[in-house]
Amino acid sequence: MDDIETGMDLEVISKEINSKDPKAGRVFDLCARQGYSLDDIAIMEGLTERQMRYIKNKIKQFGVSMTTV
């Protein structure tokens, strides 16, 4: 049951982040739900280190730490 609840929680968080900032939502989805590392996401999405820091900070505003996902 924990996996189902976690999946549902990630879905809700992902939708909320995506509604506020689609790029941050995409990064969250790729990391938390699909398992990519932040370094891989930066390469795939063509993001600079500065852009990734900005996105990570946006995601933190939702109370989610990208290092623990």
Instruction: With respect to residue 41, please indicate whether it lies within any of the assigned structural domains.
Output: yes
Instruction: With respect to residue 67, please indicate whether it lies within any of the assigned structural domains.
Output: no
3-class secondary structure, 63: coil
Instruction: With respect to residue 16, please indicate whether it lies within any of the assigned structural domains.
Output: yes
pLDDT in tens, 16-38: 899 999 999 999 999 988 999 99
Query: What's at 64, amino acid-wise?
Result: V
More reliable by pLDDT, 56 or 69: 56
Q: If you compute the radius of gyration of the chain from its CA atoms, what whole number of angstroms results?
A: 12
Instruction: With respect to residue 68, please indicate whether it lies within any of the assigned structural domains.
Output: no
Structurally, how many domains does the chain consist of? 1
- pLDDT of 65 higher than 80: no
Instruction: With respect to residue 36, please indicate whether it lies within any of the assigned structural domains.
Output: yes
The number of angstroms, rounded, from the C-alpha of 68 to the middle of its chain's C-alpha atoms is 11
Q: To 5 degrees, how large is the angle CA 58–CA 62–CA 68?
A: 90
pLDDT at position 35, please?
Answer: 93
Contact between 32 and 10 (Cβ < 8 Å): yes
Range of the domain at 46: 2-60
Instruction: With respect to residue 66, please indicate whether it lies within any of the assigned structural domains.
Output: no
pLDDT at position 41, please?
Answer: 96
0.85 exceeded by pTM: no
Instruction: With respect to residue 34, please indicate whether it lies within any of the assigned structural domains.
Output: yes
Instruction: With respect to residue 55, please indicate whether it lies within any of the assigned structural domains.
Output: yes
Contact between 58 and 21 (Cβ < 8 Å): yes
